Amino acid sequence: MAQYVFTMNRVGKIVPPKRQILKDISLSFFPGAKIGLLGLNGSGKSTLIRIMAGVDKDIEGEATPMPNLNIGYLPQEPQLDPQQTVRQAVEEGLGDVFQAQKKLDEIYAAYAEPDADFDALAAEQAKYEAILSTSDGGSPEQQLEVAADALRLPAWDAKIEHLSGGEKRRVALCKLLLQKPDMLLLDEPTNHLDAESVEWLEQFLTRYPGTVVAVTHDRYFLDNAAEWILELDRGHGIPWKGNYSSWLDQKEDRLKQEEASESARQKAIKKELEWVRQNPKGRQAKSKARIARFEELNSQEYQKRNETQEIFIPVGDRLGNEVIEFKNVSKAYGDRLLIDNLSMKIPAGAIVGIIGPNGAGKSTLFRMLTGKEQPDSGEIVKGPTVKLAYVDQSRDALAADKTVFEEISGGADVLTVGKYETPSRAYIGRFNFKGGDQQKLVGNLSGGERGRLHLAKTLIAGGNMLLLDEPSNDLDVETLRALEDALLEFAGSVMVISHDRWFLDRIATHILAFEGDSHVEFFDGNYQEYEADKRTRLGEEAAKPKRLRYKPITR
């Protein structure tokens, strides 16, 4: 094979209105390299992937794949045939293999013919057996089932036109992985996957013989599967030989040499590095310490002192010892039993990470907590001091024609945030909308910026019990880090739905896991500790991701 599978020579890209998003990028990609693509929201990561895929040809410079290189590309919104079933779409990924199997079956039958030409048949047989032998991982049927289970695909006979956006992405990813191209270009492959499916994908790509370039904010993937980090910083592509943790080390050194205005980012990186270097027990979030520091964390002096942080979450009234208790709660949705006899007690100061496949019942749990739905049996008891603040996944309520400042402040210069009055611009700045960013139109914001805006708007009222539904979706690594720091400093309790394992390991004191068959497990510890416990309880095979199953409802 050639020394490089892909080369970029002085590649640049200008986007409206005359903004140079990529500048003078010259890179060469090694065969089999595993590359994680990092950068702030809007830095050009998806643009670079589209250029490499040959989708965007309107560029400066040259982007050249090796001759006959087979490139597979997963965009953020893949196009599938709406009339196909899930199985028909996924089978296309193994088209050559299925065709070879069919031809072999015909050859085996032809041997029985009285006038069979054994030499010709043997030559044909060898050709098609060679195709099957290069397709490792068992028979085509086995490969289909393993990948479909691991990515938790919908039923084989489900029509593509009836699937959600997340389900379509999983189908497209499954089809692409089964094709086994020479080079995989993946734009946010972990979106709409739960934590266990992300872990399976990470292991699959680690073993994958081809080159992989992935835009992802999943830092365990970047740590465990990436051998290179390609950072897009102010238009330039900066390669780093090593994984995410080693990249963090050199990034801290690089920021030290840059201007003082980077000090907030440098401080945030330093905090994450300290966590990376701690032993596992030292990583447990200090929930009691946060509650004990309530007065300091909630004081105006602390808030002023803390203005270098990118995100600051205001807290409401002091949280008492009685927070939330589930007593024998069961909940069905249609003919599916989502939650079967759940009993648990959330301690004060806990950060509970909620994990499980899409459709398992995680958002339904939140709707029961907010009173939008009721349990079918059992009860949910909320403590007398609890004030909920619920940040859902929907960002559609944001007005596209307003500026960031107008959307949050309503035009007022002073906001009442929790119990305090604060300048509107200062509050909005706490969510990393600085200066001119506050005059951006909401309709022009990236997904990550909309996520921050939604968070800022929802949290104005103040609350001491946060319910966060996938807050890490669309956030770049810098903002994720800031959100983690903000949650660790928050002097209340938090329940957070997330599939980001690094995020959960860094902040979670407890895990609430939807494990399938309507069972929900409440575990004292972070994600890694929960996974170790699950393997002990259920065995290695049971711990692998599988398509979602529910207990039948007995009436």
Amino acid at 543: A
Nearest CA to 345 out of 386, 401, 317, 306 is that of 386
Does residue 481 sit in the same domain as residue 530?
Answer: yes
pLDDT for 26 equals 95
**Average pLDDT of span 477-483:** 82
pLDDT(214) > 80: yes
CA dihedral 419, 425, 431, 432 (to 10 degrees): -160
* Residues in a beta bridge with 230: 37, 239
Query: Residue 488: inside a domain, yes or no?
Result: yes
Q: 3-state SS string over 526-538? A: CHHHHHHHHHHHH
Does residue 209 sit in the same domain as residue 262?
Answer: no
Q: Is 448 one of the annotated binding-site residues?
A: no
pLDDT(488) > 80: yes
Does residue 351 sit in the same domain as residue 257?
Answer: no
Does residue 138 sit in the same domain as residue 187?
Answer: no
Query: Which pairing describes strands 183-187 and 211-215: parallel, antiparallel, or unpaired?
Result: parallel
CA–CA separation, 20 and 371 (whole Å): 48
- Domain holding 332: CATH number? 3.40.50.300
pLDDT(365) > 80: yes
**Average pLDDT of span 301-321:** 63
Does residue 139 sit in the same domain as residue 264?
Answer: no
pLDDT for 262 equals 54
Query: Residue 310: inside a domain, yes or no?
Result: no
pLDDT(418) > 80: no
Query: Mind listing the pLDDT tens digit for each residue in 242-257?
Result: 999 999 888 777 777 6
Assess contact for 463 and 492: CB atoms under 8 A: yes
* Residues in a beta bridge with 514: 520
Pull the structure tokens for residue 405.
Answer: 């400042």
Could you give the percent of the chain with pLDDT greater than 70?
A: 85
Give the CB-side neighbour count of residue 196, counting CA atoms within 13 A. 28
Nearest CA to 462 out of 432, 510, 403, 420 is that of 420
Query: Residue 432: inside a domain, yes or no?
Result: no
Query: Which pairing describes strands 211-215 and 60-65: parallel, antiparallel, or unpaired?
Result: unpaired
pLDDT for 555 equals 43
| Domain of 197, in residue numbers | 1-70+181-243
**Average pLDDT of span 504-531:** 90
Query: Residue 414: inside a domain, yes or no?
Result: no
Query: Which pairing describes strands 351-355 and 336-346: parallel, antiparallel, or unpaired?
Result: unpaired
- In what helix (H) or strand (E) does residue 24 lie, and over which residues does it extend? strand 19-29
Does residue 480 sit in the same domain as residue 356?
Answer: yes
pLDDT for 306 equals 43
* Residues in a beta bridge with 184: 72, 212
Q: Is 423 one of the annotated binding-site residues?
A: no
CA–CA separation, 501 and 334 (whole Å): 31
Burial class of residue 348 in the structure, from the number of CB atoms within 10 Å of its CB (0-12 exposed, 13-18 middle, 19+ buried): buried
pLDDT for 36 equals 95
Q: Is 95 one of the annotated binding-site residues?
A: no
CA–CA separation, 333 and 13 (whole Å): 49
Assess contact for 11 and 61: CB atoms under 8 A: yes
Query: Mind listing the pLDDT tens digit for each residue in 133-187?
Result: 655 556 777 778 888 888 989 889 999 998 888 889 999 999 999 888 999 999 9
Does residue 298 sit in the same domain as residue 393?
Answer: yes
State the maximum Cα–Cα separation within the chain, in Å, rounded to a whole number: 95
Cis check: omega of the bond before 545, within 30 degrees of 0 = no
Among 185-189, 193-197, 497-501, the minimum mean pLDDT is found in 193-197
Pull the structure tokens for residue 241.
Answer: 């030989």
Q: Is 360 one of the annotated binding-site residues?
A: yes
pLDDT(499) > 80: yes
Does residue 190 sit in the same domain as residue 102?
Answer: no
Query: Residue 146: inside a domain, yes or no?
Result: yes
3-state secondary structure of 305: helix
pLDDT(316) > 80: no
**Max mean pLDDT range (374-378, 398-402, 427-431):** 374-378
Query: Residue 4: inside a domain, yes or no?
Result: yes
Q: Per the structure, how many domains does the chain have?
A: 4
Q: Is 357 one of the annotated binding-site residues?
A: yes
Does residue 192 sit in the same domain as residue 319?
Answer: no
Confidence tier at 309 by pLDDT (50, 70, 90): very low
Q: Is 42 one of the annotated binding-site residues?
A: no
Query: Mind listing the pLDDT tens digit for each residue in 72-102?
Result: 999 988 889 999 999 889 888 876 666 666 7
Query: Residue 405: inside a domain, yes or no?
Result: no
CA–CA separation, 552 and 334 (whole Å): 11
Q: Of 163, 191, 225, at which residue does a domain stop?
A: 163
Does residue 464 sit in the same domain as residue 393?
Answer: yes
pTM for this entry: 0.76
Nearest CA to 369 out of 390, 350, 353, 384 is that of 390
CA–CA separation, 181 and 168 (whole Å): 20
**Average pLDDT of span 436-444:** 86
**Average pLDDT of span 410-416:** 88
Q: Is 361 one of the annotated binding-site residues?
A: yes
Does residue 217 sit in the same domain as residue 273?
Answer: no
Does residue 65 sit in the same domain as residue 152?
Answer: no
Query: Mind listing the pLDDT tens digit for each residue in 200-209?
Result: 999 999 999 9
Residue 205: which residues within 8 A CB-CB, separation 6 or more? 34, 184, 212, 214, 221, 225
pLDDT for 334 equals 81
CA dihedral 280, 283, 286, 290 (to 10 degrees): 180
Query: Residue 506: inside a domain, yes or no?
Result: yes
